Structure 1
Amino acid sequence: MRSNAFLIVLLLIIAGVALVSAGSVVHDTVDDPELAEASGLASSLLTPGILYTHNDSGGTPTVYTLNRRGLVPARIKLKGVTNRDWEDIAVARDPRTQKPCVYVGDIGDNNARYSSVFVYRFEEIPLEDTLMSVSRIDKYEIVYEDGPRDAEALLVDPRNGDICIISKREEQVGVYLVPYPQSTDKVNQAKKIATLPYSWVTAADISPNGKYILVKTYTNIYRYKRSGSKTLAQAFAKKPKTMPYKLEQQGEAVAWDHKGKGYFTLSERVGSTPAELYYYK
């Protein structure tokens, strides 16, 4: 969400924050007029090479597909839900059925005023048309154990189906876990499992094999490595590696590719400047 975010980036640069220069980078633009405030990014497991994204708060309840050229081949409308403040998206297989599912995080809360947040889940569908819809959607209501907070980063552990949310605004942000299986009948509690020594987290993702975690802020991308059978909490306790990242205007999305070999970032459209899609390998 905007809320002076670009000003924050400029101030951080002036203060001397070092941006990592990119190595092998592929760049394209996303000119779709409907996709003005892209916030969130995830790679499809059902259709390799396709990415999912969505608009920020107040947009339609629509998931947009992207290819690597920044084109939008299809739109998927979620029936019966609203976009209060969608901030991130993830894809993971259900541990029980092994079917790939899309998770949409309605987790934004600028003023920390919502008593609960929501994650919507639906099974991936073949992209057979340019405009499609889904109605079979699991709705997970979530409360944080230590009260409301703003968040823009969501990931789902591919090893066990746990939902992980990272808060945004604290000086040291919190990492919260909602264990699998999540309930559609009762409120799910998100328990704090880690604290990270930075702020302004805007996105996160985990590689398909569960080994590498990306956490994005306005100025950096950090990669955490999870060895063997370590938990997410144990992985986040380690010192991360700072990854290549080219500064974007209002960049609030990061995603591994479907093989976990490289990662994408996506910015919002700002004025006449189109949204930009980068791939780092």
Structure 2
Amino acid sequence: MTSFFLFLFSLKVALCSCHAEKKHSGFRSGRSLYTVTRSGRFTKPINESSGLAYNPNRKTFWTHNDSGGRPTLYEVASDGSLVDSLPLPALKNQDWEALALPDTTSFFIGDIGNNANTRRDLRIYRVNATQPSDFEQIAFHYARQQTFPAAKDTRNFDSEALFAAHDSLFLVSKNRSKPRRFVNLYGLPAKAGDYALLPIDSVFLKSMVTDAAISPDGRTLAVLTYGKIFLFDLRNNRVSFRHPTRCLRVPRGQTEGITFLNKTDLAMTNERGRLFFIRKK
């Protein structure tokens, strides 16, 4: 972004509100229930943090760079300092946008960026954490997409949000359609294959979705957008948007990654590599 457009974007994020989502989707304000603190900033070679996952055993974070970056995962401490790196030369970072580490044994890397709605090679890599040369490719496409690119008023075949639950993977669409209305939830098996995805749920969110995460107890879903976090209750071991609860305003720039620290607290990063903690009071 040029400086001028970056300024306009930052202003738009700073002025965002939860009003539309409260009215249309039933969220309640949650900002007063949480504290937001800046923890640190990632250093080189992390120059455009896009995905985020927490390792509770080591109390560290894993992240990666955005499209065109090296196919490498970076382990960082809570102050942003680099702890380790995991090169994955057999993989290609066409547009890595999301990262999940559900049980510390396997990374799920979402090469799923599709802003222009033109890609026919969307995929998720499942990488063995102890044997990184051992990986599977999970390919998918959106069953309802008929043209590449999709028409501007239907440009909702894009995702930057990936999380794992109940031996499955879930995606939340970013939604670049005009006018912007609903984001979709998709599910697919967490194993190698080629899948045609249909929405399993949808919800009105005015902002574009950039990541999502599920709490360790499986009872809360957090969906990150530019400037806001939306929380959903998950009931009966079912992943859905049926029970929206809170909307948190967190205007901290172009926020791109989110992960749970425990069943209530979260960490969030923006593309400039700043790391924030969102803790329940």
Residue 21 of structure 1: how far off its partner (Å) = 5.9
TM-score (norm 1): 0.81
- 1:122 is aligned to 2:127: yes
Contact 1:88/1:106 (<8 A) preserved: yes
Distance 1:152 1:114 in 2: 14
Residue 14 of structure 1: how far off its partner (Å) = 4.7
Report what 1:238 is aligned to. 243
Residue 48 of structure 1: how far off its partner (Å) = 3.3
Distance 1:6 1:117 in 2: 32
Contact 1:79/1:134 (<8 A) preserved: no
Residue 239 of structure 1: how far off its partner (Å) = 2.3
Per-residue CA deviation, residues 79-136 of structure 1 (Å, 9 max, x unaligned), is 311000000101113xxxxx731111011011100113110112333xxxxxxx8211
Residue 210 of structure 1: how far off its partner (Å) = 1.2
Taking only aligned residues, the RMSD between alpha carbons, in angstroms, comes to: 2.5
Contact 2:172/2:183 (<8 A) preserved: yes
Residue 240 of structure 1: how far off its partner (Å) = 3.0
- Decide whether aligned partners of structure 1 residues 15 and 139 sit closer, same or farther in structure 2, where only a CA change above 3 A counts: closer
Report what 1:188 is aligned to. 195
- Decide whether aligned partners of structure 1 residues 39 and 193 sit closer, same or farther in structure 2, where only a CA change above 3 A counts: same
Corresponding residue SS for 1:232: coil
Corresponding residue SS for 1:25: strand
Report what 1:255 is aligned to. 259
Contact 2:13/2:226 (<8 A) preserved: no
- Decide whether aligned partners of structure 1 residues 64 and 112 sit closer, same or farther in structure 2, where only a CA change above 3 A counts: same
Q: Which amino acid aligns with 2:84?
A: A
Report what 2:83 is aligned to. 73
TM-score (norm 2): 0.81
Give the number of equivalent residue pairs. Answer: 252
Gaps of 5+ in 2: 20-28, 149-156
Distance 1:15 1:119 in 2: 32
- Decide whether aligned partners of structure 1 residues 141 and 16 sit closer, same or farther in structure 2, where only a CA change above 3 A counts: closer
Report what 2:73 is aligned to. 63
Q: Aligned residues: percent identity?
A: 26
Distance 1:81 1:67 in 2: 25
Which residue of 16, 38, 41 corresponds with 1:27? Answer: 38
Corresponding residue SS for 1:24: strand
Corresponding residue SS for 1:176: strand
Report what 1:146 is aligned to. 144
Contact 1:6/1:250 (<8 A) preserved: no
Residue 137 of structure 1: how far off its partner (Å) = 1.1
Corresponding residue SS for 2:12: helix
Corresponding residue SS for 1:92: coil
Report what 1:162 is aligned to. 168
- Decide whether aligned partners of structure 1 residues 67 and 13 sit closer, same or farther in structure 2, where only a CA change above 3 A counts: closer
Distance 1:224 1:16 in 2: 18
Gaps of 5+ in 1: 94-98, 126-132, 270-274
